[in-house]
Amino acid sequence: MKFIGSISNHRGARSEDGSGVVEFALVGMILVLLVSGVWDFGRLFNAWLVTTNAAREGARYAAVFGADRNMTESDVVNQVKQKTLEYLDAGLAARGDVQPYAASDVIVQFPAGRSIGERVKVTVSLRVAVWPLARDLFFGGSDSAAIQGAASMRI
């Protein structure tokens, strides 16, 4: 007895046994690239957040102690750099993708005379290693991306 509309492999019908594997291979590569790109962007964004917060911490310290006439400007700048580097160490020390940074990466700009009401600006720069594909596509072949955070506050 033959059923009408039965599912059977008639002569001439094509088999779809391997099509799922091929489709997954094509879509899987795109998915891996997309997830890797999101991961890399997340690392860079996190480094930028920590760098900006470190600059803000330094600017806060400079604003509080910048008006103190008992401290010289160089003393305040040294303390600002120390506080900024401490914040960077707390946020980025465990990461292996951040290139070593030093006090020279922290720039403190005081207004002339350190007057109350004037703005002090702190800029922090560092470099973060990037994924090789992103390096070639977005960073012009550079092994790392420059991250810069800045903050200013009134003295």
Would you say residue 2 lies in a domain?
no
Q: What's this model's pTM, rounded to 2 decimal places?
A: 0.78
Distances (CA, A) of 82 to 13, 112, 127: 75, 22, 19
Tell me whether residue 13 is in a domain.
no
In a domain, 15, yes or no: no
For tokens 């305040």, what's the residue?
A: 76
61 domain residue, yes or no: yes
* Residue 6 covered by a domain: no
* 11 within a domain of the structure (yes/no): no
Number of domains comprising the chain: 1
Is 127 among the domain residues?
yes
What pLDDT was estimated at residue 55?
96
Query: Looking at the domain assignment, is residue 7 inside a domain?
Result: no
Which residues constitute the domain of residue 127? 20-154
pLDDT tens, position by position, for the chain (155 residues)? Answer: 555 555 555 555 566 678 888 888 889 989 988 888 888 889 999 999 999 999 999 999 999 988 888 888 899 999 999 999 999 999 998 888 898 899 999 999 988 877 888 999 999 999 998 887 777 777 677 788 899 999 999 98
Q: What is the pLDDT of residues 138-152, one digit of tens each?
A: 767 778 889 999 999
Residue 14 gets which letter from DSSP?
A: P
